[in-house]
Structure 1
């Protein structure tokens, strides 16, 4: 089976204390339980704000620089993700649809190499 990343996207100003409530937490817990029962969930993780990120870059001459913030300047960032094992993209998308509903946010589904 192929592994797929199911990534939740949040706007840059996302505040979980405002956007997330008990109903959303329950919906995500139910989805996680369903994924475990189906045997597809490999790993799941929520990420702190993109403002907590550090970017590491190789500079000319091989010097390494570390800067505050995410690598890309965007209006959205990944707020959390699942790694799933699914038979094909269609199955992974079915889980992605459920994730979008539970998280009330856009979801990206992408296969690993």
Structure 2
């Protein structure tokens, strides 16, 4: 089975403030469905109020990040699924709940993870 990253940037979620609870409820329902189906690995939103840091091999910490990842934000879900088609079907469920399109990427196979 392959692990798939299903994600969206924060700015993609556009809906009236009054709908926030409905979006949260719908999103949590998809999470519960994925857990019940045994495909859930991990999910959550990046806390955009906590700035990223770079950690060197010696443990040194520097504020900031790589330029190409400076805008990592939004919501992320990792599911373990038998096919890409399954990942697309779950992404559609998440898209409906979050009211925005989802990006789907496959992780490379690594028998150690």
Same-fold status (TM-score > 0.5):
yes
Aligned position for 2:62: 66
TM (norm. structure 1) is 0.72
Gap change, CA 1:73 and 1:83, over 3 Å in 2: closer
- 5+ residue gaps, structure 2: 109-113
Q: CA deviation at 1:88?
A: 0.8
Q: CA deviation at 1:71?
A: 3.6
Whether contact under 8 Å (1:10, 1:77) holds in the other structure is: no
Aligned residues: 103
Aligned position for 1:61: none
- 5+ residue gaps, structure 1: 59-63
Structure 1 or 2: larger strand share?
1
CA distance in 2 between partners of 1:3 and 1:73 (Å): 21
Post-superposition, which runs of at least 4 consecutive aligned residues in structure 1 deviate over 4 A?
none
CA distance in 2 between partners of 1:2 and 1:52 (Å): 30
